[in-house]
Structure 1
């Protein structure tokens, strides 16, 4: 990995870290907050809490499904820095939380509306920024570093959540976002190499295709017409790139599975083994430590050795075994033991982004990353319709048969579909 390239990207990496810290800090907290606000027993999950989480996922997913391609398209026209400002401003609010049901619902509604614009936007635009400014084989490594920094922020956030009171966690999250916003506005440069013709603003709308992309691309590289809408951009791109279609299919099933895990996993642990906020924080801390190490150090080595397509397939297979083992967990130590398979999930999206980014020129990366984020949002919309009812049913006394982890087994089957699709993607190195 080129240390000079890594140093040039330090400002976007810092922005991602601060944003990720603020976001992940609240994840171990929200399960306890939701259960305490809407359930009769603070130590047990209930169907209403599960359904509220599912409704939030669906609503946010619908918003981001529409907004991500639009934001990606606008970032190519008006700049990534300008588009980053909006979601980071909105994410700061609401800045606090009180322990009463009415305030919870007010917070829940406000946060849901803001997340329809903000959810995933920083990550999407950060991927586009890296793709615009890094070329060749270094790009997939930098995607891994970007994901690794996001995961490191999760390590710091979950460690903090383990010791912070609930009210303080909300305040620290808002401060982190504010610092990230100010830092980004002051230090982030729109272009790292302004003398590069492909990055020059005067030719930005002409979308020239790099020679290296012509050599590497397995299908005809599509050049966007700027008069098209974001939806037409997506449709036109999909028609002209078989590999991108396959990458988007993998993205759908991978995200569908991960959203299903998000809907089911924490409530499964709470109902099955009585996990609390501290238990969630400890488990997520272990997951994020392993994930950050794998993304920062293992992923670049694997990509150089076997290529991103095989890394993608390997990650999906590991994630399948992870979900399958969790579905039959018989003791509280099993979720901790399965963290050895966590690197699999961490390999998936950097590999997909690396494969997809090679299908277009560097001036079109915002649209491509918007397409990926749009598909992720669509999968995030669909997942709660399946997994929230399944989770609520099989954790209740009215389950058709005793299998508390049945929804996690369904997650494993969904991952397997994505794994099979990943095997059909051709390696760039195999092309003539």
Structure 2
């Protein structure tokens, strides 16, 4: 438990980051509709904007996240986590000032840029920080705790948004995001990346000049660990990253699974809230109620069920359970609004149970 106790400040920073990020989700649909299609409950342009934002953010994160992760191996996790945490404050601050059409489109552009640096890199850096501090046998449980803390931030942010007016929601979210950046810089200790990776050695590159100790320890894993081809630049190029993905069957398979799973999840969430608003007249409070049901189930499962299952079953089994739960989630939402599904509430109950996985 000593290694997990040393992650306390990181868990606080992760909680605050997700608290601020998710607090605005219940309100952003109404803000978008009021700016793009004022006075209407149905607007296809808003859905297209959400889909375009997800697509550009995802493609940008695909390029930026590996670079940020590689830099964190050299300069430390804390130094690189400061970037997404700080950038995340800007779009929230824009809507905290005003939610008119001009301010919304300014938020929209800045949000895309911020998403490139935040959505993928922050999650990966948090996991890398935990992996630096926790032994291999306890990492699955530690990752579950981190996911539970993130889910707790989601639930707390959503619950706060449920009782705040829209204007105050963005102001509080911006203040918490700024506090997160300050807390990260002051209290979270650096993971000491250079103590795990020799300063003269790029961990993703072949042919780099490493110390004798690093060289001897890496020889045993040379055939098992995918590495980038040698290059003269300071950062890996896009072709280098492609070579890394194609050089390992496990890594390329994981990337393919992640791609299709994320495609379905983001496609669902990009249109779901707007559909609920058009079909049932949902607003911020109803969105918050629905998110609270889902988030509370996820938080409890990650904090209680996940650490227990990590000790009993393999990581592959946990991954399969998670993917099955995600597929069932999308399927149930796909049929929930069909004319032959009479009790919609029954589908919500099933989804809540599946969220425990």
In which range does the TM-score fall when normalised by the shorter chain?
0.7 to 0.9
Cα–Cα, structure 1 residues 226 and 288, in superposed 2: closer, same or farther, change >3 Å?
farther
1:142 matches 2:142: yes
Mean Cα displacement is larger for which, 74-83 or 321-330? 321-330
Say which SS state the counterpart of residue 164 (structure 1) adopts: coil
Does the CA-based 8 Å contact 1:191-1:199 persist in structure 2? Answer: no
Cα–Cα, structure 1 residues 138 and 73, in superposed 2: closer, same or farther, change >3 Å?
same
Structure 1 unaligned regions, length at least 5: 345-432
Once the two structures are superposed, residues 199-253 of structure 1 have per-residue CA deviations (whole angstroms, 9 ceiling, x without a partner) of 56466753948979969x9x62234557561535433432432212221111111
Q: Distance in 2 between matches of 1:115 and 1:310?
A: 31
Once the two structures are superposed, residues 291-336 of structure 1 have per-residue CA deviations (whole angstroms, 9 ceiling, x without a partner) of 0111121112222222111111122122222221221214552553
Paired positions, count? 337
Once the two structures are superposed, residues 153-172 of structure 1 have per-residue CA deviations (whole angstroms, 9 ceiling, x without a partner) of 00100000101111111111
Q: Partner of 2:64 in structure 1?
A: 67
Q: Partner of 1:58 in structure 2?
A: 55
Cα–Cα, structure 1 residues 210 and 258, in superposed 2: closer, same or farther, change >3 Å?
farther
Match of 1:269 among 273, 276, 301: 276
Match of 1:336 among 334, 337, 348: 348
Does the CA-based 8 Å contact 2:297-2:352 persist in structure 1? Answer: yes
Query: Structure 2 matches for 1:29-428, cutoff 5 A?
Result: 29-42=27-40, 44-94=41-91, 95=93, 96-191=96-191, 198-199=196-197, 201=199, 206=210, 208=214, 220-224=224-228, 227=232, 229-330=236-337, 332-334=344-346, 336-337=348-349, 338-344=351-357
Q: Partner of 1:358 in structure 2?
A: none
Cα–Cα, structure 1 residues 53 and 179, in superposed 2: closer, same or farther, change >3 Å?
same
Structure 2 unaligned regions, length at least 5: 204-209, 338-342
Q: Partner of 1:417 in structure 2?
A: none
Q: Partner of 1:25 in structure 2?
A: 23
Does the CA-based 8 Å contact 1:38-1:101 persist in structure 2? Answer: yes
TM-score with structure 2 length normalisation?
Answer: 0.85
TM-score with structure 1 length normalisation?
Answer: 0.71
Report the aligned-residue RMSD.
Answer: 2.7
Q: Distance in 1 between matches of 2:9 and 2:231?
A: 29
